[in-house]
């Protein structure tokens, strides 16, 4: 039996060494996978923190830009409202002034007609009243003002206005000059009003365009702000998941290291104990030399972690032609036609005057056309440039966004791959640990059965020896209890059925994994007592081993259950991360495709803008470059025509 125990202990050590080697392999493999996962998380976390910091800065900048765009839009709308109020005020003032000037001009015309007809009672008319006021307010030469003042004062002091004589041609001429001056002032006022209206329209158009551009910018940046917010949330979730995974993996690795170190120490201690046990068995092999019994003492287990003057007609015509030739710059052939029409002996002034009026009107119409076209060209160029800037900025934003999204997708693909590899490795580790736990438990059950059988067997051997050497210590087997039917048979005088021969080891009824036989001849009582004492020691050692094995099995099971709980939690977290990153990758891929399409559209719009700008230049450049020359030439021609008409009407420009 002692030899069998020696063999059992030796085999137990070999089996334990095999299990220990497998456990240490699991420690090394699982630790390597966890270390790789931790290193990947430590690399990923700073990247995510940098992305989150950049995303926060981008959100802050976009929010600031949106606020500024809204403020600029409000300022533009305020400017438009204030300009509109000023324009309405100026228009009302112009309407009042022009109405007064028209009334004064009409009164002046009536005064001239009355004086030329020699009407009496003129100074009692309303026209004379207007004339007195105008003499004071109109810009006249001192001589003309004195002449008119004397005329009005003398006539007004006469007692009988019927004695009035028709005014001389001088008074009539002065009044006509005043009338022309007043008409000129009206024309200038009208031109000024037209210029004010033009400037107002241009300002309103510019501000409207600015407001529209700001609205578009606000909408665009609000959309970008939303996308940046979604990405920031995803990055924060990713950071949280990665940090959680890092914490779990770090704890898992620490637990694994601790478990491996503990198991190593336990293994060393068990090796030492086993060595001592082998020594003890060697010393008792002479006392108990039963190989079948020694086979019962074996097995322990390890465990497993974005000023008119009177002149002749000929002189008038000559002066008029001189006035026509006085225009500077490029001459219009139509002036030559008017000049040729005044060479005849019998010139029809009304016809010539009509030609002059037509020519002036035509020149003004042409200038108006040029003005409109220049304004159109300026606006078109400005709009094209603004559109180009907006499209260029949008192109840059799309390119940057696409680049970022590509990087995000690549990063997510890599992270998903790492997570899936980690899950595969974890599943393998779980399977290996489960198989090992089953093997350890099976070995524990087998060893416990053997140890219990050994205790019982040694106890029986001791009792048997006591029967011979120490009868007082002998314990008789319990009295056999008959069944009810057997007891009836005995009561009626029959005999009890024979007792079945005990089986098991050496007919003791004790079963184990080996057979035990105890045939000894002890010659001396002292030697028998030594054997009995040795048996007591063996029973105590086996019972101690049974207690230690129960504690070790409990600890191993608790470690296994903790490992399985940690593994289940980690796998669920990694699987959730894979699902979230896969969804985020699909969403980012959809955005990437949409942004590619929008970038293509933006580039097509840029090409159309460049083509439209080129066509606009072909249509507008010549006019813009020659506008001032053409305007100056027309102004000279209009001035010449105006002077010629005035000469034909009696004015002297010599």
387-400 tens-digit pLDDT: 888 888 888 888 89
512-533 average pLDDT score: 52
Token pair 């995303």 is at which residue? Answer: 55
573 exposure class (CB count in 10 Å sphere: 0-12, 13-18, 19+): middle
Q: Which residues pair with 255 in a beta bridge?
A: none
Taken as a whole, the chain contains a residue count of: 654
Are 291 and 3 within 8 A, CB to CB? yes
What DSSP string runs through 258-291?
HHHHHHHHHHHHHHHHHHHHHHHHHHHTTT---H
Q: Who has greater pLDDT, 627 or 495? A: 627
- How far apart are alpha carbons 230 and 225 in whole angstroms? 9
pLDDT at 370 exceeding the cut of 60: yes
In angstroms, the first-to-last Cα distance of the chain is: 157
Nearest in space to 529 (alpha carbons), one of 469, 455, 570? 469
Looking at residue 530, its pLDDT comes to 75
Q: How many helices (H) and strands (E) does the chain have?
A: 10, 0
Among 15-24, 43-52, 484-493, which stretch is predicted with the lowest mean pLDDT?
A: 484-493
pLDDT at 294: 43
Task: Give the model's confidence band at 331: pLDDT under 50 very low, under 70 low, under 90 confident, else very high.
Answer: low
Answer yes or no: is pLDDT of 197 > 80. Answer: yes
Residue 413 has what pLDDT? Answer: 92
pLDDT at position 194 over 70: yes
- pLDDT of residue 104 exceeding 70: yes
* More reliable by pLDDT, 311 or 519: 311
Q: pLDDT-based confidence at 300, cuts 50/70/90?
A: very low
pLDDT band per the 50, 70, 90 thresholds, residue 358: confident
What is this structure's pTM? 0.42
Q: Are 311 and 527 in contact (CB under 8 A)?
A: no
- CA-based nearest residue to 93, from 192, 180, 187, 182: 192
Rg of the Cα trace of the chain?
61
What lies within 8 Å, CB to CB, of 650 at 6+ separation is: 308, 309, 310, 311, 316
Question: For the residues 23-33, what does the mean pLDDT come to?
Answer: 75
Binned at pLDDT 50, 70 and 90, residue 128 comes out as low
Check if the beta carbon of residue 462 is closer than 8 Å to that of residue 535: yes
- pLDDT-derived band at 86 (thresholds 50, 70, 90) equals very high
In this structure, of 130-134, 252-256, 581-585, the range with the lowest mean pLDDT score is 130-134
242-298 residue pLDDT tens: 888 888 888 877 877 887 888 788 778 878 887 876 776 666 655 555 444 444 444
CB-count exposure of residue 372 (10 Å: 0-12, 13-18, 19+): exposed
The more confidently predicted of residues 71 and 6 is 71
The region that residue 552 occupies, defined by phi over 0 for left and psi between -120 and 50 for alpha, beta otherwise, is alpha
Determine the Cα–Cα distance for residues 244 and 365; give it in Å rounded to an integer: 80
Query: CA 258, 262, 268, 273: dihedral to nearest 10 degrees?
Result: 180
Largest CA distance in the chain: 194
- In this predicted structure, the answer to whether residue 438 has a pLDDT above a threshold of 50 is yes
Backbone angles phi, psi at 308, to 5 degrees: -80, 135
* Residue 651, phi then psi, degrees to nearest 5: -80, 155
The phi-psi region of residue 587 (left if phi > 0; otherwise alpha if psi is between -120 and 50; otherwise beta) is alpha
- Percentage of the chain with pLDDT > 90? 2
Collapse the DSSP code of 634 into the 3-class scheme (helix H, G, I; strand E, B; otherwise coil) and give the result. helix
* C-alpha distances in Å from residue 272, one per residue of 187, 259, 265, 269, 480: 124, 20, 11, 5, 46
In the Cβ-directed half-sphere of 497, how many Cα atoms lie within 13 Å? 10
Tell me which of 285 and 151 has the higher pLDDT. 151
Which residues on adjacent β-strands are paired with residue 308? Answer: 651
d(CA 423, CA 412): 16
- DSSP-derived 3-state class of residue 298: coil
Please say whether the beta carbons of 416 and 585 come within 8 A. yes
**More reliable by pLDDT, 59 or 22:** 59
Q: Give pLDDT tens digits for 341-353.
A: 565 545 566 777 7
Is residue 303 pLDDT above 80, yes or no? no
Partners of residue 651 on adjacent β-strands: 308
């Amino acid at each position: 039996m002692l030899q069998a125990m020696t063999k059992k202990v030796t085999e137990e050590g070999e089996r334990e060494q095999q299990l220990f080697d497998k456990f240490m392999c699991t420690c090394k493999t699982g630790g390597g996978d966890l270390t790789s996962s931790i290193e990947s998380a430590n690399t990923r976390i700073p990247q995510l923190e940098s992305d989150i910091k950049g995303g926060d800065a981008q959100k802050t900048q976009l929010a600031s830009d949106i606020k500024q765009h809204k403020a600029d839009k409000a300022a533009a709308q305020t400017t438009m409202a204030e300009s509109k109020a000023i324009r309405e005020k100026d228009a009302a003032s112009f309407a009042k002034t022009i109405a007064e000037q028209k009334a004064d001009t009409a009164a002046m015309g009536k005064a001239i007609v009355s004086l030329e007809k020699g009407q009496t009672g003129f100074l009692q008319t309303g026209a004379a009243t207007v004339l007195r006021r105008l003499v004071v307010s109109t810009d006249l030469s001192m001589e003309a003002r004195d002449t008119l003042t004397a005329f009005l004062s003398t006539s007004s002091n006469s007692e009988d206005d019927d004695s009035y004589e028709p005014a001389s041609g001088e008074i009539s001429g002065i009044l006509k000059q005043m009338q022309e001056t007043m008409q000129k002032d009206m024309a200038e006022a009208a031109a000024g009003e037209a210029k004010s209206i033009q400037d107002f329209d241009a300002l309103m158009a510019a501000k409207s365009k600015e407001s529209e551009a700001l609205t578009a910018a606000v909408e665009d940046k609000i959309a970008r702000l939303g996308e940046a917010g979604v990405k920031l949330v995803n990055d924060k979730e990713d950071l949280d998941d990665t940090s959680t995974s890092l914490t779990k993996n770090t704890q898992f690795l620490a637990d694994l290291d601790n478990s491996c170190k503990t198991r190593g120490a336990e293994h060393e201690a068990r090796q030492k104990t086993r060595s001592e046990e082998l020594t003890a068995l060697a010393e008792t092999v002479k006392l108990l030399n039963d190989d079948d019994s020694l086979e019962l003492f074996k097995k322990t287990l390890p465990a497993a972690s974005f000023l008119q003057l009177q002149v002749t007609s000929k002189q008038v015509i000559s002066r008029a032609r001189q006035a026509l030739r006085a225009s500077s710059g490029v001459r219009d052939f139509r002036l030559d036609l008017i000049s040729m029409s005044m060479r005849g002996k019998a010139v029809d002034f009304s016809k010539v005057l009509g030609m002059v009026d037509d020519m002036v009107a035509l020149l003004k119409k042409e200038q108006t056309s040029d003005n409109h076209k220049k304004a159109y060209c300026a606006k078109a160029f400005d709009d094209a440039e603004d559109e180009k800037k907006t499209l260029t900025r949008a192109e840059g934003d799309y390119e940057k966004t696409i680049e970022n999204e590509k990087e995000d997708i690549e990063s997510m693909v890599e992270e998903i791959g790492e997570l899936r590899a980690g899950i595969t490795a974890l599943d393998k580790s779980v399977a290996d640990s489960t198989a090992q736990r089953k093997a350890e438990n099976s070995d524990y059950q087998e060893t416990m059965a053997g140890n219990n059988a050994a205790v019982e067997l040694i106890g029986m051997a001791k009792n048997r020896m006591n029967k011979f050497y120490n009868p007082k210590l002998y314990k008789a087997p319990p009295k056999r209890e008959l069944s009810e039917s057997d007891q009836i048979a005995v009561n009626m005088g029959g005999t009890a059925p024979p007792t079945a021969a005990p089986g098991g080891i050496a007919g003791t009824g004790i079963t184990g994994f080996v057979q035990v036989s105890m045939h000894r001849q002890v010659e001396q009582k002292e030697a028998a007592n030594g054997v009995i004492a040795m048996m007591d020691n063996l029973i105590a050692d086996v019972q101690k081993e049974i207690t230690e094995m129960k504690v070790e099995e409990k600890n191993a099971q608790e470690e296994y259950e903790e490992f399985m709980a940690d593994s289940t939690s980690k796998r669920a977290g990694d699987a959730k991360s894979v699902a979230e990153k896969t969804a985020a990758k699909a969403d980012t891929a959809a955005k990437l495709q949409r942004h590619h399409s929008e970038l293509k559209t933006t580039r097509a719009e840029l090409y159309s803008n460049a083509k439209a700008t080129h066509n606009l230049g072909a249509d507008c450049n010549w006019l813009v470059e020659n506008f001032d020359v053409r305007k100056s030439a027309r102004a000279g021609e209009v001035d010449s025509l105006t002077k010629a008409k005035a000469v034909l009407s009696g004015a002297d420009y010599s």
